């Protein structure tokens, strides 16, 4: 996968996810008629939000890797865009983890630090093994 194709596909995914998040935030009620939480609608909103954060993080990583290729695990030359996609997916999963912990009323600084540490360790492990 080359960099321009990755950039275009990521932009398309970010736009579609942004439209879905805006649609869910403005037009679709997250509660059913009886006042209970509408789980499929809420799950779709959370999924769209996770994809949006992952796509935006991928775009950010692509820009940062162009300037500093070491962030992608490459000493010299152009890094593979797959590293940016991987880092974007990790950012999306971290966002999803924070959201789930917040919904369970378990989000505190210890969980935030541990989640960020685990995300960094996963990325470092993949860069070393990759």
Is the CB of residue 17 less than 8 Å from the CB of residue 51?
yes
Its domain, for residue 100, covers: 3-129
pTM reported for the whole predicted model: 0.90
Q: CB under 8 Å to 42, separation ≥6 — which residues?
A: 30
How many Å apart are CA 67 and CA 56, to the nearest integer? 17
Query: Could you give phi then psi for residue 110, rounded to 5 degrees?
Result: -65, -45
pLDDT string in tens for the chain (130-residue length): 798 999 999 999 999 999 999 999 999 888 888 888 888 999 999 999 999 999 999 999 999 999 999 998 888 888 999 999 999 999 999 999 999 999 999 999 999 999 999 999 999 999 988 7
Q: Name the domain count of the chain.
A: 1
């Amino acid at each position: 996968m080359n960099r321009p194709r990755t950039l275009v596909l990521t932009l398309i995914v970010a736009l579609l996810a942004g439209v879905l998040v805006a649609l869910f935030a403005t037009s679709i009620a997250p509660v059913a008629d009886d006042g209970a939480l509408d789980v499929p609608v809420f799950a779709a909103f959370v999924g769209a939000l996770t994809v949006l954060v992952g796509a935006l993080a991928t775009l950010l990583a692509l820009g940062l890797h162009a300037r500093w290729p070491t962030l992608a695990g490459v000493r010299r030359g152009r890094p593979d865009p797959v590293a940016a996609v991987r880092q974007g997916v990790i950012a999306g999963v971290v966002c999803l983890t924070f959201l789930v912990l917040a919904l369970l009323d378990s989000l505190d600084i210890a969980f935030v630090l541990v989640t960020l540490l685990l995300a960094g360790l996963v990325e470092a492990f993949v860069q070393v093994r990759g």
